[in-house]
Amino acid sequence: MVAGGRFSVRGESFAGGRKVIVDVLDVPADLSLEEARHRFETMLRDQVERFGFTRSNILQDYMTCSFYSDVRISRSYWAVLASRNGSANPVASTMPLAAFKRAVRPGDQLRLVAAPAGHRSLGTVRSIVAVRSADLVLEGPSYLTLPGARAFACDGTHVRIAIGNERRPDDHLLYEWIRQAA
């Protein structure tokens, strides 16, 4: 279908039918231009919908569809695109996300060193209250959602979380990880 592409495919069932969701994780093409992104999403949606069917009878107000489809460009695609184009504040990924989740402890602190322009929390230091499977609970009424492995980089001191999108693929949060004294 797409040479060199990586995708995540999952299904959902709901009262109105079924849905196939395709998340684009990585493709060789640059999808930052809206026209190229739309063309790619349409091509991918057409490929997915080849295996479905729709039957209808307008006179009897009847329609049935085998499944609906949804194609999404995931956050990890924008992280990969930014690293291909040369990202700001690179962090060597020497500690994978799973190891980070095991190493981080309540009482450790995170200092926000770099963020997109105008970020209100730039320079603040927050203590970690709890470590959950998908996020970190920080002091105050806030939490930090951990991304997928491709949008995460940690070298033991700095943590880089990619939050890019189609308008700004290199947006990221860069934290300094201050470990609690043992």
Asked if 172 and 122 count as a contact pair (C-beta separation under 8 A), the reply is: no
> What pLDDT, in 10s, does the model give residues 13-35?
888 788 899 999 889 888 888 89
Query: What is the total count of domains within the chain?
Result: 2
Residue 114 forms part of a structural domain: yes
Residue 59 forms part of a structural domain: yes
Same domain, 164 and 105: yes
Asked if 168 and 88 count as a contact pair (C-beta separation under 8 A), the reply is: no
Same domain, 169 and 101: yes
Residue 126 forms part of a structural domain: yes
Cβ within 8 Å of residue 111, ≥6 positions away: 123, 124, 125, 175, 176, 178
> What pLDDT, in 10s, does the model give residues 38-78?
999 999 999 888 888 777 888 888 777 788 889 998 888 88
User: What span, in angstroms and rounded, lies between the C-alpha atoms of 179 and 80?
Assistant: 28
Expressed as residue numbers, the domain containing 66 is 6-73
